[in-house]
Amino acid sequence: MSSSEVTDQAGRPEQIRAVPVRRPGRWIAAAIVLVIAVALIRSVATNPRFEWSVVGNYLFDARILEGLRVTIELTVIAMAIGIALGIVLAIMRLSPNPLVSGASWLYIWFFRGTPVLVQLLFWYNIAALYPKVALGIPFGPAFVHIDANTAITPFTAAILGLGLNEGAYMAEIVRAGIISVPEGQSDAAQSLGMTRLQTMRRIVLPQAMRVIIPPTGNETISMLKTSSLASVIVVGELLFAVQNIYSVNFKTIQLLIVASIWYLVCTSVLYIGQYYLERYYGRGATRELALTPLQRVRLGLTSIRHGF
Amino acid sequence: MGEPMVKAESVHKRFGRLEVLKGISLEVLPGEVMCLLGPSGSGKSTFLRCINHLEKIDAGRLSVDGELVGYRQVGEKLHELRESEVSRKRAEIGMVFQHFNLFTNMTALENVCCAPMRVRRLARGEAQEHGRALLARVGLPDKVDSYPAQLSGGQQQRVAIARALAMDPKLMLFDEPTSALDPELVGDVLQVMRRLALDGMTMIVVTHEMGFAREVADKVVFMDDGVVVEAGEPAEVLGNPRHERTRAFLSKVL
């Protein structure tokens, strides 16, 4: 074979156009998946007992939307408490002071070791344990007296239960992020005269974020769904709103579908947020910044226009 | 020249049961360049880290510019310095690491400007102007906006040198600055260090670059197994070593 056969007129090597390997397994798998999908869609669409019109009627019902608002509020506040608490607990856990790290360990042990539903019920009934809460000097005079029964509304109980529980999980996630940053980074920061706190805040935590964000996104999605447990302590969130309606009209399945649709919408939005957060904190980790889906589509379009 | 910049008297350091430094005594005068040589595990890097208190010494006295490192002497007693005081002293000592340790989430310029802004409270504009000048000085005026992952090892190390210089240190510590570099990148880094020495910077360099030690150092110290085996002018120690251990080491690296 002469070399002229592998190069074109300009002397560049010719593009390889080989016959692809046949993959019969893929065709069989595709056929099976297709059959199952069609059967599923057909049954969902044609089974009259789904009563899709009922689903449609309730999807934007004011009571449902109010429940959705409470669900989102619960998720956001509980996650904010969880993340803030998690950072503090993680830094405490890595402290050289054994008392401080021990306290953090004990907190994580307790709140991870008991079910979140038990904790929710516990906070809901806290007034039985402490009917009055007083703010003041320990063992001394008190300045403010709070009646626990009125202060701990179902909503506050849910926030406390979900947030404090989340803090324990976030602490472990943040700690994993912190110890994933090489020690040389703190050495360098400290040799430049930064204090331990500055090093943590300016150098270690921003780099730890790359490791912290994916599981935190996971936790947020999980929190969105766990917040439905608050319905047990009569917080008017999405599941509670749905239950209220179907306990009257008995359209149980239809309303649960409505709730599922909203949960899916919310988690999808969170997916997108997580993608962009990961991209932001991935700066410097790779040579090229990953393209956003929008940029990828645009690039695809231009390459099609230029005929590849 | 009067007071030494660095003065070590019988410095001891142990990690658990392993004694790494077994009584190091040496002096570095202002403007002097001292090269620390020796086989790995001889305690060179540990000693360097003791000088800016990244490691605590267990016995002996170590002082920089006439002040004890990490302690204050009141009468007969030593008092530990508070963290802020330790940090303030570290800010005056530049350190360059074997593995560069650039902040990976920051561009070259951000790396250089970070400490002046956070520690010295310099305004952003002023810090950036100074930072650009420093990056130009180490030969990287066009890499201002590059992230460390986009730079070669030699370029990263030069950014690391610029970052240390941004704090206007009175002493520079180099911990095997060229050991992690490809051979063809070593020259650029050594060139920057050579110029720094000519400008009168006081430097302590842990290195295996015998050519650099011979050419630039005012003093060469050969360490082995936690003690100073031999110290003196480079021509003397490298050319005519008196000690058997020095001779054995040099015959392997030269």
The span from the CA of A150 to the CA of A37, in Å, is 52
pTM of the model: 0.80
Which of these, B30, B37, B2, lies nearest to B172 by C-alpha position?
A: B30
SS3 state of residue A231? helix
The span from the CA of B146 to the CA of A274, in Å, is 25
* A166-215 pLDDT tens trace: 999 999 999 999 999 999 999 999 999 999 999 999 999 999 998 999 99
B103 touches chain A (CB under 8 A): yes
The label of the residue with tokens 């008190």 reads: A142
The closest CB to that of B101, out of A188, A194, A195, belongs to A188
The span from the CA of B245 to the CA of B238, in Å, is 12
CB contact under 8 Å between A191 and B105, yes or no, is no
CB contact under 8 Å between B94 and A202, yes or no, is no
Instruction: Name, in order, each residue with C-beta under 8 angstroms of B211's C-beta and a sequence gap of 6 or more.
Output: none
Rounded mean pLDDT, A40-50 = 90
The token duo for B195 is: 């110029």
The span from the CA of A86 to the CA of A275, in Å, is 22
* A145-159 pLDDT tens trace: 777 777 788 999 999
pLDDT given at position A224? 95
- What single letter denotes the amino acid at residue A279? R
Beta strand spans in B176-233 (E): 203-206, 219-224, 227-232
β-strand pairing of B67-68 with B71-74:
unpaired
pLDDT confidence bin for A298, thresholds 50/70/90: confident
Looking at beta carbons, which residues of chain B come within 8 Å of A285? 104-105, 149
B243 touches chain A (CB under 8 A): no
User: Is residue A261 a contact partner of residue A67, using CB atoms and an 8 Å limit?
Assistant: no
Looking at beta carbons, which residues of chain A come within 8 Å of B88? 193
CB contact under 8 Å between B115 and A185, yes or no, is no
pLDDT given at position A1? 46
pLDDT given at position A110? 95
Is residue A43 pLDDT above 80, yes or no? yes
Looking at beta carbons, which residues of chain B come within 8 Å of A203? 103, 114
Is residue A308 pLDDT above 50, yes or no? no
The token duo for A35 is: 């059959």
SS3 state of residue B245? helix
* A78-135 pLDDT tens trace: 999 999 999 999 999 998 899 999 999 999 999 999 999 999 999 999 888 888 777 7
Across-strand partners of B231?
Answer: B221
The token duo for A191 is: 């040799």
ipTM confidence score: 0.91
Instruction: Name, in order, each residue with C-beta under 8 angstroms of B183's C-beta and a sequence gap of 6 or more.
Output: none
A159 C-beta neighbours (distance < 10 Å), count? 22
Work out the burial of residue A307: count CB atoms within 10 Å of its CB; fewer than 13 is exposed, 13-18 middle, 19 or more buried: exposed
Q: Which of residues 137-156 of B touch A (CB under 8 A)?
A: 147-150
A281 C-beta neighbours (distance < 10 Å), count? 18
pLDDT given at position A5? 61
Instruction: Name, in order, each residue with C-beta under 8 angstroms of A154's C-beta and a sequence gap of 6 or more.
Output: A124, A230, A233, A234, A235
SS3 state of residue B36? strand
* B25-52 pLDDT tens trace: 999 999 999 999 999 889 999 999 999 9
Rounded mean pLDDT, B77-92 = 93
User: Is residue B120 a contact partner of residue B87, using CB atoms and an 8 Å limit?
Assistant: no
Across-strand partners of B206?
Answer: B36, B175
Across-strand partners of A87?
Answer: none
